[in-house]
Each structure stands twice: as C-alpha cells, then as structure tokens.
Structure 1
Amino acid sequence: MSNNQLAKPDPTAYRYAVHSCSYKLDLAQKPDRAVALFDNEALANTFGRLMWPSFYEVVDIRAGEES
C-alpha cells in the first residue's frame, strides 16, 4: 500500500554517495556499491562516520559535471 505522505524520490536530487569500503578489510570480492545517497555532504559524512568510523568514503557523484 502506498503512503501519499511520502514524496517520490528524485535520484537527480542526490549528490553524495556513501560507500562502506569493505574492500579495506578484505571483505569484498566486487567493487563496493553505494549504501546511501545524500544531497548534503555533511550529512553524508555523519552517516558514514556513525556506520563505519574508519572505513567509509563519501563520493561526489556529480564531480566534473559542473562548470
């Protein structure tokens, strides 16, 4: 059942991807996929720091697109 109080997400509204970086602990065979997307870099870093204090990375997925 859909909830009309929740806005439909717009993927283009997000700029920062948070990766857990499990490869740094030899826990991954494949490249790490983003686990969360944020429109605010500070929030992305806070989320990463709370989830994986030493092993996360925040990537600007629009880098190089803006002039």
Structure 2
Amino acid sequence: LALGATGAKAAKMSQSAVRYQATPKDGKQCSGCNLFVAPNSCKSVDGDIAATGWCALWVKKAA
C-alpha cells in the first residue's frame, strides 16, 4: 500500500479496519501510543478515540 500524500492530510483508516476497541489489550492502550492525540483523536484512525482504547496500529510512545 503506497500513500502519496503531497502536503495534504493523509486519509485516516476506519476503526473497523484497524480492529479498534474502546478497552485496553494486553496492557496496551491508546494513551501510551505514539499515534494518539489527546484528548480523543489519532493520527491514523478516524473518529473519536478513547484514551483507554486499543487498535492493531498501536506503537509504543517514544520516551
């Protein structure tokens, strides 16, 4: 999958496509993800995102 965003905001993925859930999984949750934007957004997933949620794109927040 190649994304050719030229200055424009890249399209976000749907919550169902990334298996988003509003509860943590295996100790991982959105508030600890590098893609989470407080208070309830994500750089890569569309819609309202719970800080306690989780999805398949989860990446540990940089220290």
User: Considering the TM-score relative to the shorter chain, is it more than 0.5?
Assistant: no
Larger Rg: 1
Task: Give the TM-score, by structure 1 length.
Answer: 0.23
Task: Give the TM-score, by structure 2 length.
Answer: 0.24
Higher helix proportion (structure 1 or 2)? 1
